[in-house]
Amino acid sequence: MKYLSEKYPPFRSFCLDEQNRLYVRTYEKGKTPGSYLFDIFNPEGKFIARCEIPSSFVGSQLVWKGNRLYNVEKDEEGYQYIVIYEAKWVKKTAK
């Protein structure tokens, strides 16, 4: 049985890419200040990866197209701008 926090739900937001992979933003902070961890699941629901995305996301504006993630972010003065991240899938082999 997994423990679920009493303060936060198990996830903050989620989105799909064009290959129907599900990206779930957790409340876990990444190593980079302001970043969060995303758990990634294949279309069948199997966990396939975890990644850290170093930014503060406006969840409803997160869009995947090809291997690029488009997001609307804000600067220190509150102005919005579009940031494009490139995703690279690397298969790791077990040792």
pLDDT tens, position by position, 44-84: 999 998 988 766 554 556 788 888 888 887 788 988 888 88
For the whole prediction, is pTM greater than 0.85?
A: no
- Which carries the bigger pLDDT value, residue 4 or residue 81? 81
> Among residues 4, 5, 22, which one has the least CA distance to residue 14?
22
